[in-house]
Amino acid sequence: MKRLAVYCGSATPEDPRYIQLAQEVGRTLATRGIGVVYGGGKLGLMGAVADSALAAGGEVIGVIPEALVNSEVAHRGCTELHVVSGMHERKLAFTNLSDGFLTIPGGVGTMDELWEAVSWAQLGYHTKPVGLLNAFGFYDQLLAFNHHMIAVGFIRPAHAGIIMAETELDLLLTRMAAHEPHTPIFAMKTSDL
């Protein structure tokens, strides 16, 4: 993995563990020689990931919609800053520029990015690993809901392992590096669906 898209919040929660986690992620990726592709902002966890990766000598590529650049939240210190017209173009750029997806805590935008990465993997638009860092149990309920969708039958057995969830970053990165693509819906026969 040469680059990972890192999905995370642009907010700064009161609990300092979240910013510390984002800093650890940025620093760890940089020291492993893995570039960061992220939302291009300077605020919250986004900014902490970028700043930490840059401070550790890493590559940081920001992808930000024009509307947010105009709101003065763009991180001007990125290795590269791509300005796109909207959110659809942003997520496509994340997919095109990265070798996988790493989600850490965040809000609605983070969920949108995660579920699109999962959906696109399920369909076959990409074959990249989708990692979820479940730090502090933040994603326990999301993972329970994902298991519920699997149990009910809305997620096929072939796609049950798309989300790779771990509580430790090193273990998650190891699993993501060993990722083997599943059979996407585009390659399935009607009888498999």
| Tens digits of residue pLDDT in 27-54 | 999 999 999 999 999 999 999 999 999 9
Torsion, Cα 56 61 63 64, to 10 degrees, reads 50
pLDDT at position 167: 98
Q: How far is CA 129 from CA 70, 102, 189, in A?
A: 33, 8, 23
Name the pTM for this structure. Answer: 0.95
One-letter amino acid at 68 equals: L
- Which phi-psi region, left, alpha or beta, contains residue 168 (left: φ > 0; alpha: ψ -120 to 50)? beta
Q: What is the mean pLDDT of the chain?
A: 96
Placement of tokens 């510390």 in the chain: 20
> What is the rounded distance in angstroms from the CA atom of residue 60 to the CA atom of residue 140?
29
> What are the tokens at 127?
């074959």
Placement of tokens 């699997």 in the chain: 150
Whether residue 152 is predicted with pLDDT greater than 90 in this model: the reply is yes
Whether residue 116 is predicted with pLDDT greater than 90 in this model: the reply is yes
Whether residue 71 is predicted with pLDDT greater than 90 in this model: the reply is no
Q: In what order do the strands lie in the sheet with 130-133?
A: 80-84, 60-65, 35-38, 3-7, 101-103, 130-133, 163-166
> What is the rounded distance in angstroms from the CA atom of residue 9 to the CA atom of residue 169?
17
Q: Domains of the chain: which residue ranges?
A: 3-176
Tell me the mean pLDDT in the region 86-95: 95
pLDDT at position 5: 98
Tell me the mean pLDDT in the region 76-99: 96
CATH code reported for the domain at 3-176 = 3.40.50.450
